[in-house]
Every structure is written in structure tokens, then in C-alpha cells.
Chains A and B, each alone.
Chain A
Amino acid sequence: QSALTQPPSASGSPGQSVTISCTGTSSDVGAYDYVSWYQYHPGKAPKVIIYDVNKRPSGVPDRFSGSKSDNTASLTVSGLQAEDEADYYCSSYAGSNSLMFGGGTKVTVL
């Protein structure tokens, strides 16, 4: 199992939007609508911000949105805020009760 591919970094100014990609294969991202995204601030527990490709858990701002096209999923953070500076990880169901994660993307708010 190879990890899902994410860009190592992304950045934007406050108020702007940033989009992070998560590329897998036809056996994971492309096969199932079970892509999730996690926000990680160092020293804290990771937090799910998107599940099932585009669903937001209660309490997650609608500035966070998810989508998927073929083997690539994307997370968009609109209206960037200082507190959005964090590491973001994607995950996908990969069949046979297994899961895969991406390498993570560090988002910097300029």
C-alpha cells in the first residue's frame, strides 16, 4: 500500500482560498466515496474536518469543503484565517477493511 499523494505545502493570505489535492488510485480514492480530511495542530489530537468526500462534522466551519474527481480528492479552505494554519491529512478507504493516509500538507497563512 502506497500512501496517498499530497503536496507538502500550501499557503495563502488571510481571506484567500487554498486547495489541497490528495491523489490515489482507482483502488482507493477513485473506488470509494470514503475520503476524509484531518486537521492537525502540533501537540493536539487530529480533528476530522471532512468525511465521505464532502460532509462536514458538526461544528466545522463551512469554510472547509471537500470534493473528488476520479482518483483525486481535494480540500478547499475558503476565507483563510490564522487558526487554519495547520497540517492537513487526507485518508481513503482502500477496500478489504483497510485505510490509507496521505503524506500531509502544511498550510501556512501568510
Chain B
Amino acid sequence: QVQLQESGPGLVRPSETLSLTCAVSGYFIGSGFYWGWIRQPPGKGLEWIGSIFHSGYTHHNSSLKSRVTISVDTSKNQISLKLNHVTAADTAVYYCARLVTLTRGVYHWYFDLWGRGTLVTVSS
């Protein structure tokens, strides 16, 4: 059974860097798939942050691109998110998820597995 578990500080000060990791169990991330980060600010909808292939190839939401770094560590079987220069607007529940883009030669674009998310509050 594949499971994803987000972790990281629950409180980050404004202007600092938010750092989260997503530990994947039950599946070796080096075997394939894109892995993504999604967030949900309080009372708002979901927002795609970015995705990374197991090889390290990344895509980012253009509205966040300059502040976002997504990386993969196959030795630890985890992906990471760094968001710098945070403000209160970055307060959200952050989710990691597995992105299905290609199966048996057919293209898709959906997240088939999600973590439960972790709340990050930006406040002084």
C-alpha cells in the first residue's frame, strides 16, 4: 500500500523559507511517476504548486515559480518543497501527491494518491 506523509515546521516566520518533505512508502519513487505539491489556504480552494519527475525534471505554477524549489531524493524516497520569502498568504495546508501522466501509452493528468496534508502557518 502506497502512502505519502508530509512533514515540516507548522509555523514559519514572514520572509523566511518554508521547507517540507514528503516521505513515500510502499513505492520506490525512482521507478517513475511525477510527484506534486498542492496547497489549500484556509477557506479557499486547492492550488497546484508544482510537480517533479523522479529524474528531477520539474514544473511549477507560474504564480509561484520564482519562490519555489521542488526536489527529489531517491535515496530517502522523498520529495521536498521549499518556498522562500513567505507571507501570510502562504498559510495553507500543504499536500503532496502522486501525479499520473502516462499509463500503458495513454496520457492522463490526475493525482491518484495523496497525503493527508500538513498545516503551515506563516506568522511572526
Contact = CB atoms under 8 A, between A and B. Distances in A.
Contacts of A6: 45
B23 interface: no
Contacts of A48: 110-112
B62 A3 contact: no
A86 interface: no
A10 to B, nearest CB: 15
Given A38-B111, A91-B110, A101-B38, A46 B95 contact: yes
Contacts of B110: 34, 36, 48, 51-52, 91
Contacts of B48: 91, 98-101
Contact of B47 (A3, A96, A97): A3
A21 B71 CA distance: 35
A73 B59 CA distance: 25
Contacts of B112: 48, 51, 57
B111 A89 contact: no
A96 B112 CA distance: 20
Contact of A103 (B44, B63, B111): B44
A44 B114 CA distance: 9
A1 B48 CA distance: 10
Contacts of A24: none
Interface residues of B, number: 27
A97 B46 contact: no
Contacts of B95: 45-46
Nearest to A97: B59
Contact of B108 (A45, A46, A52): A52
A30 interface: no
B20 to A, nearest CB: 16
Given A36-B110, A44-B116, A104-B45, 20 more contacts: A3-B47, A6-B45, A32-B109, A34-B107, A34-B108, A36-B109, A43-B116, A45-B95, A45-B115, A47-B114, A48-B110, A51-B110, A57-B112, A89-B45, A91-B46, A97-B51, A97-B59, A98-B62, A101-B45, A103-B44
Nearest to B51: A97
